[in-house]
Amino acid sequence: MREGIEENPMKSSRSNTKAVFLCGGRGKRMFPIAEDKFLLDFLGKPLLEHQTEVASQAGLSHFVMVGNPENITKIKQITKRIAGIEVDFALQRRSLGIADALKSAEPLLRGQLLVINPNDVFSSSAYTKIIAAAKKTPASSYILGYQVQKYFPGGYLQVNSRNELLHIVEKPSPGEEPSNLVNILIHCHSNSKELLRYIEAVQTTRDDVYECALDNMVKAGHKIKVVPYNGFWAPIKYPWHIFKVMEYFLDKVQPCIASSARISEKATIEGKVVLSENVRVLENAVIRGPVYIGANSIVGNNALVRDYSHIGANSVIGYSTEVKHSYIGDNCWFHSNYVGDSIIDDNSSLGAGTVLANFRLDEGDIQIKVGDNMVDTGYDKLGAIVGRGCRIGVNASLMPGVRVGSDSVVGPQVCLHHDLGANKMVLGASRYQVTDNKTSLDEGKRRELLDKLRG
């Protein structure tokens, strides 16, 4: 067997279709979230585990996970604990696109193939639809076509009247879309070997080998059926896309309070709330769902967690902290903060009084610089995006949409307007003048004020 290939010797009797999860790519637009997107936790489990379970529930039982040298161990740990499936592993050494990923897994690919991008989140109907189409209509391949309501910057599927693919148009300008069907990566190929042959034959220096292969298949007379889909679909390309996925999981989850959770009688739990094992909720805290709180986390006195918030394990939402519509990792510590519409990765902390501002003073949409371009996030409420292992000092202010790279430090009282790279430290140029104190106080005033306050 080729290096990097691990084939599961045990073979099940369920569907023979192999689901190939392409986990080997590296997201460049996710800064400062360093983790692979499919490794992000939702409801206490990595996204990949959710994805695999959904596919399994749709009847798939043979999986090929294509990972890279950095993530393959985690992928194995995650998928090996899912019952009832067989998983093979392939190692993609370079991040060179779909075709390269499939070539990495070549020895494992036989018969019918389902190629899946595990960074996009679908409902299980995406799988059942394409599997049903593959059973019903004979074709070389089947492509899921997401029916968009408004322009989306993706690849559009030009089809004939029988919904057969004619051509894939990459990112047409708005108004020039050939259809309302966006190409999303749940592709079914009836014959793996045939697909791989087309891939091998492509001559290009770009990273669209796979798409060229599909185009060449069409040109050679292969029928590629487009299966329309209008269920849930949320790609994670930029960090703020995490919000939609978080909302999706919070909408799906059943409310549940672990029996080991300790909740003060003076706390308020309202709406759909999940409190995991050993969570503690202190006096006068308010959790207004949909909200998920991971194991061992503490929601402190007077804290307010609300409006679609997702908090990892071992985190402390400390005294007098508000968390609103935010995704918080494991082992994060907050303390008298406002955290609104923000994403904070694992092991990060905020000093007392620090505010993650989420609304521009001109109330406009928040733009974020990616490479040389400003990308409109589409959000007029967006806080900070903070990588893992960051520490923010007391009374600091992070402006809407600011990103802080992992393992960085923001000093006390810094008002951070710009993104900060990974492993940086930013300190305010503290300027103050010391003089002699020439004021003096009327000693009676305090007593008077206290008497007034005591009523």
At residue 49, φ and ψ (nearest 5 deg) are -65, -45
Using CB under 8 A, which of the segments 34-42, 54-62, 200-208, 422-430 binds a second copy? 422-430
Inter-helix orientation angle 72-80/47-57, to 10°: 50
CB of 26 to a second copy, least distance (A): 23
Using CB under 8 A, which of the segments 58-66, 130-138, 192-200, 350-358 binds a second copy? 350-358
Using CB under 8 A, which of the segments 59-67, 124-132, 200-208, 413-421 binds a second copy? 413-421
Member of 227, 236, 304, 382 binding a second copy (CB under 8 A): 304
Member of 391, 401, 402, 404 binding a second copy (CB under 8 A): 391
CB of 190 to a second copy, least distance (A): 48
Which residues in the 182-241 window bind a second copy by CB under 8 A?
A: none
Binding of a second copy at residue 266 (CB under 8 A)? Answer: yes
In the block, tokens 């903060």 appear at 337
Judge if the upstream peptide bond of residue 412 is cis by omega within 30 degrees of 0: no
Q: How far is CA 7 from the centre of its chain?
A: 29
Amino acid in the structure at residue 144: L
**Cβ count near 415 (within 10 Å):** 13
CB of 243 to a second copy, least distance (A): 16
Binding of a second copy at residue 165 (CB under 8 A)? Answer: no
Binding of a second copy at residue 325 (CB under 8 A)? Answer: no
C-alpha span between 148 and 189 (Å, rounded): 24
Member of 118, 154, 389, 401 binding a second copy (CB under 8 A): 389
C-alpha span between 99 and 50 (Å, rounded): 25
Binding of a second copy at residue 268 (CB under 8 A)? Answer: yes
Query: Is 34 in a helix, a strand, or coil?
Result: coil
First to last CA, the chain: 84
Pick between residue 50 and residue 335 the one whose CB is nearest to a second copy: 335
Binding of a second copy at residue 415 (CB under 8 A)? Answer: yes
DSSP string, 317-337: E-TT-EEES-EE-SS-EESS-
CB of 49 to a second copy, least distance (A): 24
Q: What Cα–Cα distance (Å) separates residue 8 from each residue in 86, 87, 108?
A: 6, 6, 10
Member of 80, 93, 219, 447 binding a second copy (CB under 8 A): 447
Member of 280, 310, 388, 403 binding a second copy (CB under 8 A): 280
Q: Find all residues with CB under 8 Å of 445, minimum gap 6, and list them.
A: none
Binding of a second copy at residue 367 (CB under 8 A)? Answer: no
Pick between residue 228 and residue 353 the one whose CB is nearest to a second copy: 353
Query: Is 77 in a helix, a strand, or coil?
Result: helix
Q: Find all residues with CB under 8 Å of 443, minimum gap 6, and list them.
A: none
Which letter does DSSP use for residue 172 in this model? Answer: P
C-alpha span between 398 and 391 (Å, rounded): 12
Binding of a second copy at residue 412 (CB under 8 A)? Answer: yes
- Name 165's bridge partners: 159
CB of 42 to a second copy, least distance (A): 22
Pick between residue 374 and residue 415 the one whose CB is nearest to a second copy: 415
Amino acid in the structure at residue 384: A
Using CB under 8 A, which of the segments 16-24, 92-100, 191-199, 318-326 binds a second copy? 318-326
Map residues 282-301 to x or -, x wherever contact with a second copy holds by CB under 8 A. xxx-x---------x-x--x
Binding of a second copy at residue 77 (CB under 8 A)? Answer: no
Binding of a second copy at residue 263 (CB under 8 A)? Answer: no
Phi-psi region of 302 (alpha: psi -120 to 50; beta: other; left: phi over 0): left
Q: How far is CA 204 from the centre of its chain?
A: 31
Using CB under 8 A, which of the segments 47-55, 65-73, 134-142, 345-353 binds a second copy? 345-353
Member of 355, 366, 385, 402 binding a second copy (CB under 8 A): 355
Pick between residue 137 and residue 395 the one whose CB is nearest to a second copy: 395
Inter-helix orientation angle 192-201/209-219, to 10°: 110
In the block, tokens 């103050």 appear at 432
Binding of a second copy at residue 441 (CB under 8 A)? Answer: yes
Binding of a second copy at residue 259 (CB under 8 A)? Answer: no
Which residues in the 369-388 window bind a second copy by CB under 8 A?
A: 380
Query: Is 214 in a helix, a strand, or coil?
Result: helix
Task: Single out the residue of 153, 132, 154 nearest to residue 142, CA to CA.
Answer: 132
Pick between residue 165 and residue 279 the one whose CB is nearest to a second copy: 279
Binding of a second copy at residue 420 (CB under 8 A)? Answer: yes
Binding of a second copy at residue 409 (CB under 8 A)? Answer: yes
CB of 246 to a second copy, least distance (A): 18
- Name 298's bridge partners: 280, 316
Pick between residue 3 and residue 442 the one whose CB is nearest to a second copy: 442
